[in-house]
Amino acid sequence: MTTARTVVWQAIQWTGLEYFILTPAEGGLLADGQLIGMYEGRPYSLHYQIRIDNRWAVREVIIRSDAANDVLIQLTTNGRGEWYDREGNLLPELAGCIDVDLTLSPFTNTLPIRRLRFLSEQPQQINVVYIDLPAGKISSVSQLYIRLTDDCYRFQQPDSSFSADLPVDADKMVIDYPNLFRRVSSG
């Protein structure tokens, strides 16, 4: 990717928008998202940045609260499954995770879709750093991706019955996330 990419997604089950920009950065890409809305009766305004290397592996995640401009979460990783908090402490509970999943953003589905090497309809099971927003709870969860076609991937959470077929564009960015998000602008 040589130029910036801007996308706006609208939440479907709650009032919310994401304004997202993906830009080239030294050694990879920088994903920058602004999340605003009402979730479970509470307003939220969050800003996140995800630094991605040339292999589409996450290297750093920063999430800020816009209300106080406080850093809520800052995680770094070596890109091989070792994660560290903002003080540099190893987080063994996240061992083996390469990708991150932010609950309020459809962008994070793009990370494993771009990073993994898919054979047609062969499932790929991964563990991801799952960040439940706006609560900020962090855990490791198992996820499954299956390439159905070049422009559609199935996402499943083996620990639940959740499954969604995700149509994607040429850059593998989610177009619509059934019952959760729809893209309203892209450029």
What does the pLDDT look like over 30-70, one tens digit per residue?
999 999 999 989 999 999 999 999 999 999 999 998 776 78
Total domains in the chain come to: 1
Question: CA-CA distance, 184 to 14, in Å (whole number)?
Answer: 15
Cis peptide before 134 (omega within 30 of 0): yes
Residue 158 above 90 pLDDT? no
Residue 161 above 90 pLDDT? no
Token pair belonging to 166: 């995700």
pTM of the complete model? 0.94
Instruction: Look up the domain containing 58 and give its range.
Output: 5-186
Q: What is the amino acid identity at position 131?
A: I
93, burial (CB in 10 Å: exposed 0-12, middle 13-18, buried 19+): exposed
- Residues with Cβ within 8 Å of 138's Cβ and at least 6 positions away in sequence, in order, are 73, 75, 94, 129, 130, 131, 132
Tens digits of residue pLDDT in 84-119: 999 999 999 999 999 999 999 999 999 999 999 998
19, burial (CB in 10 Å: exposed 0-12, middle 13-18, buried 19+): middle
pLDDT of res. 66: 77
Q: How far is CA 157 from CA 28, 110, 145, in A?
A: 28, 16, 9
Side by side, the strands of the sheet bearing 181-186 are 83-84, 70-77, 58-65, 42-53, 28-39, 15-25, 5-11, 181-186, 176-177
Q: How far is CA 89 from CA 24, 61, 77, in A?
A: 29, 15, 11
